[in-house]
């Protein structure tokens, strides 16, 4: 496997940046536009992944392993977060029969 | 051996502060539990211990001419400021120690009898011991800041004791008056201290004296410092224009008047000026100012005293007058003369007050001399003691007042004939009001009040013995300093204090011309003759018949204390009240209140509007958040 | 050049499927498109020679997280159309916000000199061997702590999922 990719540096770093920004923006728009809490979660995952990819790209280009280690830890935290978040959603749904964020407005003043 | 005794003296000087503080704490903390008969004995015992220590210290400093300095602990220490809590016993403070502890002890003993039966006797004695404590801090301090603590502390005790019978509102007002008037002077004192620190970088009394002696005479900084210090002295020693508090301070118990408002606290101003003698001699303008203030105070209060009818008020104005006389001596540069008069005055004025207290005690709190008369036969011991005091204060030889006054008068005559005559006139005023008081109260035919009062009784021994000791002192204390006219050898007092004022004397050599022997005899004999005439005249006038009830013209002005209180009322109190009212009604109510309220109301209104943003709608929050992030990023971009 | 084409292809797939996550009417479709996005991203990791991350990514996201999402969708019975109607206003605002964000982020790239991070050699750090060395030496403590995080997340999820007794 070590020889599969040899011409990596053909791709400029700015490509990664533009791609990740686009993915991130899609995530942001998703968070804004969706009313389904589950869909919002998915959009958040998109944003997380775009950030992960960028970290990994910078790490590879700088030849610094810390970035990739951080990606690993972010994945760890994301997994934990999803587990808890989805459990919360289930609880919320159980108590109010909906996960529409426009209806879940009890935090109002 | 010398070092050993030195460290012994150091520990003794520390104990001096400890004993009265212990007494205050012991009596003050357990005043509910403590037996009322016991508290006076405890308080007196602590002061008596102090008196013994004082004798030892006095013997030490007068034989070795060494000042005992003890650094108790570092009090303020940061950057370039270092102010230790240190006490110094030198010849000047040892003298003051003798006066404070000696007279203080006698008055404590007297108070046991005088305050017997009073509900607050424990409170009284705790305050008295506290006063002694603060007075000793004042006297012993080796820097001006500590001196200021003592200064304020005695002011506090004065306040507490004037208002001792706090149930009477007039007493509280008198206490407040004393306190506030003192504050005015203390502000000046503080400014003086600040200025001193700014100029010399130290507040240590001896260091300041060393540094100042290198300065040229009459510099502006020195002028400000000395004026500031003297302003404090004016307040504390009841000089013009802040003297009106002292007569009102007579609202307190009579032993308080004797101790605080005659013998010790009010003389603190004199002590301060004497202590800072080097500063003052290098500022001739201030010296002249002190001279003028002293003369006017002595004159005006002496004149007022002649027409007063309250026995304590007469003595109070007499005190003011004598203090003015001491300041006059200071102004003339005779520091040891002022200190000598301070010492003898402490004896006979305390005696007079205590005797007056004895009279008041005998007559059930009657203070008006018009309602007395004929007391000579009813209370003969008190009369005799009072007469001793009156003779001493009038300057009749061979009692103490004669010697101390003569010391000041001779300086005044050396200064110039005019000055001498003014000084003589002032000292003659003393004779007039003292003998008027004596004859009206003790010789005049008995008033109706006295006739109908069958309970008039001589005071108990516990009161009479301290008075007798003071009377003895008033008689013999003068012989330590005999005028040069009689003997040139007996200069004990002046020699004793000469090391203290040596620098001051060297800086400003005596400028006065020596008088011829004839003039000296004349200046001595003519006043004495006048005194004799005055005594006879007052006997004729006051001892035979009643006081004239109608006063005319200038007499009325004097009887009303030159309307000083009324003038102050008009000049300061009324405008202050008007200004306060203006600030309360207009500035506070209409402007500040409205401003504050409108701030509150507008906050409430805006909050009520902004509250609506909290919709609880997460989508809305998210939109706001995203736009805010965009704004932040954009701001970073264009920056 | 092959790599560039591969990059562009993967990017297109990822962006397309990400868009479809938003546009799908049914949540179950969204989840499936999200899975596709993750696979495309895994390809990107391989392209970066970060093989370890690629494997972990596939296992964690495509394996674990997607399953959770699917379970939730099915548990809550959300797979119906028109449950969450959207107003046009929100869409417009979201589009504007997204566009602005994209522009601002790309704009900030201008002030950054990318030449400082370009490395001509092919990076070998993403290999399992190399990353493992770093992870188990320099980052040992955080690695161990992450297990505690997982444990607590697990306990929390179980606690939350439990039915109230009432």
Does residue C145 sit within a domain? yes
Residue B535: strand, helix, or coil = helix
Look at residue B511 and tell me whether its pLDDT is greater than 60: no
Same domain, C74 and C133: no
Name the least confident of B21-35, B216-230, B332-346, B532-546. Answer: B532-546
Same domain, C8 and C74: yes
How many residue contacts between A and C have a Cβ separation below 8 Å?
A: 243
Q: What is the DSSP letter of B201?
A: S
Beta bridge partners of B86: B71
Of B241, B234, B368, B369, the C-alpha closest to B300 is B241
Say if the Cβ atoms of B618 and A108 lie within 8 Å: no
Mean pLDDT of chain C: 84
Does residue C42 sit within a domain? yes
CATH code (residue C46): 1.20.120.1200
What does the pLDDT average to over B225-254?
A: 89
Look at residue B109 and tell me whether its pLDDT is greater than 70: yes
ipTM confidence score: 0.86
Nearest to A105 among B611, B617, B626 (CB): B617
Greatest mean pLDDT among A48-57, B437-446, B630-639: A48-57
Same domain, C67 and C140: no
Which two tokens mark C101?
């964000």
Q: Which residue has the higher pLDDT, B481 or C23?
A: C23
Same domain, C73 and C145: no
What does the pLDDT average to over B341-354?
A: 91
Do B25 and B81 meet the contact criterion of CB atoms below 8 Å apart?
no
Say if the Cβ atoms of B636 and C100 lie within 8 Å: no
Say if the Cβ atoms of A7 and C130 lie within 8 Å: no
Say if the Cβ atoms of A10 and C4 lie within 8 Å: yes
Mean pLDDT of chain B: 86
- Give the span between the Cα atoms of B334 and B328, in whole angstroms: 9
CA distances from residue A16 to A42, B41, C39 in whole angstroms, order as listed: 21, 97, 17
Overall domain count for chain C: 2
The residues in A 7-66 lying below 8 A from C, measured between CB atoms, are 7-15, 17-19, 21-30, 32-36, 38-39, 41-43, 45-46, 49, 52-53, 56-66
- Give pLDDT, residue C9: 92
- Give the span between the Cα atoms of B124 and B31, in whole angstroms: 10
Name the least confident of B78-92, B540-554, B557-571. Answer: B540-554
Which of C58, C80, C102 marks a domain boundary?
A: C80
- Give pLDDT, residue B533: 87
Test mutation, C92, C94, C97, chain B, max B CBs within 10 A: C97
Say if the Cβ atoms of C84 and A34 lie within 8 Å: yes
Question: What residues have CB less than 8 Å from A51, skipping those under 6 apart?
Answer: A20, A24, A74
What does the pLDDT average to over B436-458?
A: 79
Q: What percent of chain B has pLDDT over 90?
A: 25
- Give pLDDT, residue A4: 47
How many residue contacts between A and B have a Cβ separation below 8 Å?
A: 29
Say if the Cβ atoms of C94 and B623 lie within 8 Å: yes
- Chains contacting B (3 or more CB pairs within 8 Å): A, C
Which of C80, C111, C139 marks a domain boundary?
A: C80
- Give pLDDT, residue A7: 47
Does residue C102 sit within a domain? no
Look at residue B371 and tell me whether its pLDDT is greater than 90: no
Nearest to C100 among B619, B630, B636 (CB): B630
- Give the span between the Cα atoms of B474 and B344, in whole angstroms: 7
Sequential pLDDT tens for chain A (109 residues)? 444 445 445 678 888 889 999 999 999 999 888 888 888 889 999 999 999 999 998 888 888 888 899 999 999 999 999 889 888 888 888 888 888 877 777 666 4
Residue B215: strand, helix, or coil = coil
Same domain, C143 and C75: no
**How confident is residue B598, by pLDDT bands cut at 50, 70 and 90?**
very high
Q: Tens digit of pLDDT for each residue in B307-325? A: 888 889 899 999 999 999 9
- Give the span between the Cα atoms of C122 and A5, in whole angstroms: 8
Same domain, C66 and C137: no
Give the total residue count for chain C: 166
Look at residue B16 and tell me whether its pLDDT is greater than 50: yes
Name the least confident of A95-104, B484-493, B508-517, C29-38. Answer: B508-517
The C-alpha torsion from B424 through B425 and B431 to B436, rounded to 10°, is: 180
Structural domain for C132, as ranges: 127-166
Q: What is the pTM for the complete model shown?
A: 0.67
B636 vs C: CB within 8 A: yes
What does the pLDDT average to over B413-436?
A: 87
Question: What residues have CB less than 8 Å from B635, skipping those under 6 apart?
Answer: none
Q: Which residue has the higher pLDDT, B139 or B218?
A: B139
Q: How many CB atoms lie within 10 A of CB C12?
A: 12
Which of C64, C80, C96 marks a domain boundary?
A: C80
Q: How many CB atoms lie within 10 A of CB B552?
A: 7
Q: Tens digit of pLDDT for each residue in B261-320? A: 888 889 999 999 998 888 888 888 888 999 999 999 999 888 888 888 888 989 999 999
Do C25 and C102 meet the contact criterion of CB atoms below 8 Å apart?
no
Q: Locate tokens 């002046």: which residue?
A: B494
**H-helix segments, B201-283:** 205-212, 220-236, 245-248, 254-258, 268-275, 277-281
**How confident is residue B560, by pLDDT bands cut at 50, 70 and 90?**
confident
Does residue C67 sit within a domain? yes
Does residue C135 sit within a domain? yes
A105 Cα to chain C: minimum distance (Å):
15
Does residue C106 sit within a domain? no
Same domain, C132 and C67: no
* Cis, peptide link before residue B241, omega less than 30° from 0: yes
Same domain, C11 and C72: yes
Does residue C57 sit within a domain? yes
- Give pLDDT, residue C115: 65
Does residue C100 sit within a domain? no
Q: Is the dihedral of CA C84, C90, C96, C98 positive or negative?
A: negative
Q: Which residue has the higher pLDDT, B492 or B628?
A: B628
Look at residue B350 and tell me whether its pLDDT is greater than 50: yes
Q: What percent of chain B has pLDDT over 70?
A: 96
């Amino acid at each position: 496997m070590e020889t599969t990719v040899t011409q990596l540096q053909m791709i400029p770093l700015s490509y990664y940046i533009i791609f990740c920004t686009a993915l991130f923006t899609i995530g942001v728009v998703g968070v804004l536009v969706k009313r389904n809490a589950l869909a919002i979660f998915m959009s958040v995952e998109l944003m997380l992944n775009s950030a992960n990819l960028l970290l990994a790209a910078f790490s590879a280009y700088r030849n610094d392993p810390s970035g990739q280690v951080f990606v690993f830890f972010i994945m760890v935290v994301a997994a934990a977060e999803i587990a808890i978040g989805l459990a919360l959603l289930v609880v919320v749904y159980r108590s109010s029969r909906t996960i529409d964020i426009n209806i879940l407005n009890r935090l109002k003043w | 051996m010398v070092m050993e005794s030195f460290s012994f003296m150091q520990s003794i000087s520390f104990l001096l502060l400890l004993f009265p503080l212990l007494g205050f704490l012991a009596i003050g903390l357990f005043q509910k539990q403590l037996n009322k008969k016991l508290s006076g004995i405890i308080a007196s015992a602590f002061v008596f211990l102090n008196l013994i220590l004082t004798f030892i210290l006095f013997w030490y400093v007068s034989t070795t001419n060494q000042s005992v300095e003890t650094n108790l602990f570092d009090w303020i220490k940061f950057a370039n400021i270092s102010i230790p809590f240190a006490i110094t016993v030198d010849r000047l403070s040892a003298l003051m120690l003798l006066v404070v502890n000696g007279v203080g002890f006698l008055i404590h003993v007297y108070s046991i009898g005088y305050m017997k039966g009073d509900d607050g006797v424990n409170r009284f004695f705790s305050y008295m011991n506290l006063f002694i404590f603060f007075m000793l801090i004042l006297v012993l301090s080796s820097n001006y800041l500590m001196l200021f603590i003592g200064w304020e502390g005695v002011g506090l005790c004065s306040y507490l004791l004037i208002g001792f019978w706090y149930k009477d509102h007039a007493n509280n007002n008198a206490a407040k008056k004393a306190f506030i008037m003192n504050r005015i002077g203390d502000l000046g004192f503080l400014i003086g201290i600040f200025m001193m620190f700014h100029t010399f970088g130290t507040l240590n009394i001896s260091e300041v004296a060393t540094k100042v002696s290198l300065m040229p005479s009459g510099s502006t900084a020195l002028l400000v410092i000395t004026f500031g210090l003297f302003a404090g002295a004016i307040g504390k020693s009841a000089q013009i224009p802040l003297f009106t508090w002292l007569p009102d301070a007579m609202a307190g118990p009579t032993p308080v008047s004797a101790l605080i408002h005659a013998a010790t606290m009010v003389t603190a101003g004199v002590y301060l000026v004497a202590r800072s003698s080097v500063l003052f001699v290098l500022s001739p303008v201030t010296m002249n100012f002190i001279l003028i203030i002293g003369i006017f105070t002595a004159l005006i209060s002496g004149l007022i005293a002649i027409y007063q009818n309250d026995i304590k008020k007469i003595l109070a104005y007499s005190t003011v007058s004598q203090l003015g006389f001491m300041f006059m001596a200071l102004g003339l540069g005779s520091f040891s003369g002022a200190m000598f008069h301070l010492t003898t005055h402490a004896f006979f004025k305390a005696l007079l007050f205590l005797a007056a207290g004895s009279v008041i005690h005998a007559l059930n709190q009657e203070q008006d001399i018009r309602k007395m008369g004929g007391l000579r036969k009813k209370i003969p011991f008190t009369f005799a003691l009072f007469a001793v005091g009156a003779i001493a204060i009038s300057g009749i030889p061979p009692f103490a007042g004669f010697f101390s006054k003569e010391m000041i008068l001779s300086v005044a005559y050396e200064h110039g004939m005019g000055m001498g005559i003014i000084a003589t006139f002032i000292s003659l005023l003393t004779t007039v009001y003292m003998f008027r008081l004596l004859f009206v109260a003790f010789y005049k035919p008995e008033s109706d009040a006295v006739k109908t009062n069958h309970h008039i009784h001589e005071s108990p021994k516990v009161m009479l013995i301290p008075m007798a000791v003071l009377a003895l002192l008033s008689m013999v204390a003068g012989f330590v300093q005999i005028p040069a006219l009689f003997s040139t050898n007996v200069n004990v007092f002046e020699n004793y204090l000469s090391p203290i004022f040596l620098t001051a004397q060297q800086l400003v050599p005596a400028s006065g011309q020596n008088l011829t022997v004839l003039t000296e005899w004349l200046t001595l004999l003519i006043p004495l003759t006048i005194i004799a005439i005055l005594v006879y005249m007052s006997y004729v006038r006051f001892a035979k018949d009643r006081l004239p009830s109608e006063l005319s013209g200038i007499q009325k002005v004097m009887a009303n204390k030159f309307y000083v209180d009324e003038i102050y009322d008009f000049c300061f109190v009324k405008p202050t009240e008007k200004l306060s009212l203006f600030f309360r009604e207009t500035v506070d109510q209409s402007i500040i209140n409205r401003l504050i309220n409108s701030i509150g109301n507008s906050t409430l209104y805006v909050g009520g509007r902004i509250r609506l943003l909290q919709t609880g709608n997460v989508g809305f929050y998210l939109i706001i958040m995203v736009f805010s992030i965009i704004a932040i990023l954009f701001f970073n971009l264009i920056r | 050049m092959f790599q560039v084409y591969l990059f562009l292809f993967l990017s297109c797939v990822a962006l397309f499927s990400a868009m479809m996550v938003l546009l799908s009417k049914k949540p179950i479709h969204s989840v499936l498109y999200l899975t596709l996005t993750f696979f495309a991203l895994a390809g990107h990791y391989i392209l970066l020679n970060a093989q370890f991350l690629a494997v972990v990514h596939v296992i964690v996201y495509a394996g674990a997280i997607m399953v959770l999402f699917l379970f939730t969708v099915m548990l809550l019975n959300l797979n119906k159309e028109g449950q969450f109607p959207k107003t046009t206003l929100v869409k417009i605002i979201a589009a504007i916000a997204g566009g602005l964000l994209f522009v601002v982020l790309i704009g900030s790239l201008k002030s950054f000199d990318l030449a400082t991070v370009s490395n001509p050699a092919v990076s070998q750090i993403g290999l399992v061997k190399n990353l493992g060395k770093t992870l188990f030496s320099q980052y040992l403590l955080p690695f161990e702590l992450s297990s505690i995080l997982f444990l607590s997340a697990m306990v929390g999820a179980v606690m939350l999922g439990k039915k109230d007794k009432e």
